[in-house]
Amino acid sequence: MKSPWIRFLGFFTLSYFAFVIMFNVPAFESIVNIFFRNTSELFLDTMLPDAKITATIGHENDKRDVNVMAINFTWTPEMIERIVEEAKAHRIENISVPHRFVNYYLYQFFSVPLMFLLSLIFATPLPIKDKIIALFIGFSSLWIFILVKLFLFVLFTISNAKIGIYELGESNMLALQKMANVLTLGVSILLAVVIWGLTSFRKSILFENIRSIFDSLQKIDNSQ
């Protein structure tokens, strides 16, 4: 009888490679990227209402690169209108509206952590109902984390651009920079493992297997 861990590792490897192939199929990749773009734009627009934010697929200088999402930010129409009125009052003729952008690689930022988490859950021996619940809770939790991570990165970029919106103080910028340095791809994958442990591992035969091993070791230690 094969160890449940061997089966798990085998299914995990197969699942991950299947997701890698799937995420690189142009039709599926397009659907996923649209989801990434729309949810990112909605979240950022909600969290940063004083900036006009749009997300587009493709590098700002090369729209053919579909693995890149450009986050564009500028003044809101209301802010532009107010500044134009102020300029007229001071007889200033030329107003330059700032436009900035920052690029994020979709595959590394979004896809890899999600594929890792989904592969862990799919490979875990669980009843179908529990697996569906784990997929829903796991995906939602990791997705919220990724969006918050994106928000922090974009907020830092907007503040650093110094275009008159969300200009943070030095201490806040330093704190954001430290968080940005910590919130790497590795942290996203580590969080995926933690979420898997909470939603799937504890309910599976894998957890029972580990616990039985520790119980056996404890009995051996007590008998000596």
Instruction: Per-residue pLDDT tens, the chain, 224 aa: give them.
Output: 457 888 899 999 999 999 999 998 988 888 898 899 999 999 999 999 999 999 988 766 666 677 889 899 998 988 888 888 888 787 777 778 888 888 898 888 999 999 999 999 999 999 999 999 999 999 999 999 999 999 999 999 999 999 989 999 999 999 999 998 899 999 999 999 999 999 998 888 776 766 665 555 555 555 55
In angstroms, the first-to-last Cα distance of the chain is 30
**63: helix, strand or coil:** coil
Q: CA separation (Å) from 95 to 52, 88, 195?
A: 17, 10, 49
Which residues, at least 6 apart from 189, have a Cβ–Cβ distance to it below 8 Å? 112, 113, 116
pLDDT at 219: 56
pLDDT at 156: 93
What does DSSP assign to residue 68?
E
Of 82, 77, 60, 79, the closest CA to residue 69 belongs to 60
Task: Give the helix/strand (H/E) hosting 214.
Answer: helix 205-223
How buried is residue 164: exposed, middle or buried, by Cβ count under 10 Å (0-12/13-18/19+)?
exposed
Per the listing, tokens 């920079």 go with: 177
Beta carbons within 10 angstroms of residue 188's beta carbon: 21
pLDDT at 27: 87
The model carries a pTM of 0.86
DSSP per residue, 84-111 = HHHHHHTT-------EEEEEEEHIIIII
Residue 78's Cα: distance from chain center in Å?
A: 30
